[in-house]
Structure 1
Amino acid sequence: MEFLLAGNYAHYVLMLSTLILLMGAAFLGKRIGKRRQAQDLPVDDELKIVLGAILSLFGLLVGFTFSFAINGYQARIQAEENEAIAIGNAFQRISVLEEKYQPRAESMLQDYLALRIHFFETTDETNRAETRMAAIQLQTHMWKLISQLAQQNPNAVMVTALNASNELYTAQQKTMSSWQRQVPGAAWILLLFFAVCSNFLLGHNIRGIHGNNTIIMLLPALISLALLMISEIDSPGAGLIYVTPENLNALRHTLEVGGLAP
C-alpha cells in the first residue's frame, strides 16, 4: 500500500480510486438487496446489526489511524523547532573562535541554515535528499574547522563550540527519524477492507429508494475525504499539509536584523 502514497499527486489518485471502489461496493450491495426484494426473500435483521458493528469498528480504526498521523506530524514540527534552536546556539557559540575564523564559520552556518530551510520547503524527494547530503557535508566541514582550532587551543570554551557543531548533526538526524509515515501499509489495507464491507452492507440494507442514490453516495464520499486527510497529514513534505520551516525562517530574519551575530 505504501507505493500508492508515493508522489505529490498520489493522495488525490488514492482518494478518487477509493471513492470509485466504495461506490462500486455500495451499488453492488444495493443491486443484490433489490434481487432479494424481488424474490420476496426475508430481510435479515442480523445484517443491520453487523452493519452497525462494522461502522463502529471502522470509526475507531479511522480515529486511531488519524491519531498516529497527527503524532508523526507533531514530531516533525518539534524536529524543525529543535533544528532552529541548534543552529541558533551554533551562531552564538562561534563567538568564542578567534576573530579571523568567525566570518568563515558564520558563512558556513548561513549556508547551512539556507539548506535546512530548503529541505523543509521543497516537495521533490530527490532534491530533498541532495539538500540533506549537502547540509551534512557542510556540517562536517564546520566540525573539522572547529576541531582543528580546538586542538591548537584546547580549553573548556572551545568544547562548547564543538558541542554546538555536533548538535547540528544530531538535530538533523532527529528530523530524519521523524520524516517517515506513521501509518503502515497493513493499516491502510485494513481500513479499505472495512470501508468496502461497510458500503456493501449499507447498499444491501437500503430499502424503498428508487432512482435516488444521494444517500448511498454520501458514505463513500465521506470515507474518501477522511482517508485523504490522513494520507495528507501522514506524508512528510508532500501534499497540502506539511511542516513549514517557520522557526528556521524566524531565525534567518533574526540574523538579518543583526541578532545572534558573533
Structure 2
Amino acid sequence: MVNFPLLVLLVSFLGLALAAWIGDGLRKRFKPLKEESRDDSGVVLGGTLTLLGLVIGFSFAMAISRYDLRKDYEKTEANAIAAEDMRADLLVPDDAGKVHGLLKQYLDQRVLFYTTRNADRLTQISADTAHIQDELWSAIRSAASRLPPQLQGLLISGMTDIVLSQRSTEAAWLNRIPTSAWVMLLATSLGCNVLIGYRARRTDWIVFLVMPVAVSISLFLISDLDSPRGGAIRVVPHNLISLSQSLHGK
C-alpha cells in the first residue's frame, strides 16, 4: 500500500477518524472520566503525541535522505557515462564509433529506468541494460587491447564506474522505510486518536478530525517521498536526459 501515496492518505484518514469515533463511543458507553483520571490520561496522551511527532519526524527525515540519495546517484550515473564517452575518443575511429553507439543505447535504457512505472516494462529494461553492458564490456576489452597499458586502465575503470553507479542506483531505489517503522507510525497514531475521543467532554467532530487530517497528510508526504515510482514526487533524470540530447546531437 505504501507504494500508492493517495491510498495511504485515504486509508489513514479513515482509520484515524474511526479510531477517534471508537474512543468517543467508549466514553459514551462507560462513565465519563473524573478529573483526576483525566489528568492521568492527559499525561499518557501528551507522551504518546510526543512519540508520534518524533516518529513522524524521523520517518520524514529517512524519506528525504533516500530521495536525495536517488538524485545523487542519477547525477553520478550521468557523469560516469559522459566520462566514458569522452575516453572512447582515444580508440581508433571504428572502435570509438561502436562504443559511442552502445553508450547511447545504454543511456536511453537508463532514462527509461527512471521514467517508467510499469513493472513488466522494468523487467525488460533491466534485461536490455544488462545485455548492453555485456556488449560494452566486450567492445572496450577488445578495443583497449590495442592501446598502451595506461589508456587500457583508463577505459576499463570508466566501464567499471558505469556498472557500479547503475547498481548503486538500483540499490538506492530498493532502500525503503522499514515496515516496522510504518507499523509503529500507524499504531501510535491510532492510539492517540482513541485517547482523544475517549478524553473528550463531548462529541466535537471538528476537534476529532484535526489529528486524522494532520497525520494522514504527513503519512502521505512520507509515502510519496519514499515511493520512487508510485508518488508524485519523483526523481526526474535531468542529467541523463541532458546528456542523451548532447550525445544524440553529435
The aligned residue for residue 96 of structure 2 is 102
In structure 1, distance between residues paired with 2:33 and 2:248: 78
Q: What secondary structure sits across from 1:171 in the alignment?
A: helix
The aligned residue for residue 233 of structure 1 is 225
Of the candidates 93, 106, 111, which is equivalent to residue 87 of structure 2? 93
In structure 2, distance between residues paired with 1:91 and 1:40: 74
The aligned residue for residue 217 of structure 1 is 209
Shift of 1:79: 0.6
In structure 1, distance between residues paired with 2:81 and 2:58: 35
Q: Which amino acid aligns with 1:205?
A: R
Q: Which range is displaced more, 66-75 or 249-258?
A: 249-258
Shift of 1:69: 0.9
The aligned residue for residue 5 of structure 1 is 2
Structure 2 portions without partners, runs of 5+: none
- Judge conservation of contact 1:143–1:166 (CA < 8 Å) in 2: no
- Correspondence list, 1:91-240, <5 A: 91-209=85-203, 212-240=204-232
RMSD: 1.7
- Judge conservation of contact 2:98–2:139 (CA < 8 Å) in 1: no
The aligned residue for residue 21 of structure 1 is 15
In structure 2, distance between residues paired with 1:102 and 1:218: 63
In structure 2, distance between residues paired with 1:184 and 1:30: 32
In structure 2, distance between residues paired with 1:238 and 1:96: 42
In structure 2, distance between residues paired with 1:239 and 1:181: 15
- Correspondence list, 1:55-74, <5 A: 55-74=49-68
- Judge conservation of contact 2:144–2:151 (CA < 8 Å) in 1: no
The runs of at least 4 consecutive aligned structure 1 residues that moved more than 6 Å come to none
- More helix per residue: 1 or 2? 2
Q: Which amino acid aligns with 2:119?
A: E
In structure 2, distance between residues paired with 1:64 and 1:241: 19
The two structures have a TM-score, normalised by structure 1, of 0.89
Q: What secondary structure sits across from 1:207 in the alignment?
A: coil
Alpha carbons of structure 1 residues 218 and 40: separation in structure 2 relative to 1, 3 Å: closer
- Judge conservation of contact 1:181–1:235 (CA < 8 Å) in 2: no
Over residues 175-194 of structure 1, what are the superposed CA-to-partner deviations in whole Å (9 max), with x where a residue is unaligned? 01211243111111111110
Alpha carbons of structure 1 residues 186 and 40: separation in structure 2 relative to 1, 3 Å: closer
The aligned residue for residue 245 of structure 1 is 237
Structure 1 vs Structure 2: percent identity of aligned residues?
28
Q: What secondary structure sits across from 1:115 in the alignment?
A: helix
- Judge conservation of contact 1:69–1:181 (CA < 8 Å) in 2: no
Shift of 1:153: 4.1
Q: What secondary structure sits across from 1:101 in the alignment?
A: helix
The two structures have a TM-score, normalised by structure 2, of 0.93
- Correspondence list, 1:35-50, <5 A: 35-36=29-30, 39=31, 42-43=34-35, 44=37, 45-50=39-44
- Judge conservation of contact 1:136–1:169 (CA < 8 Å) in 2: no
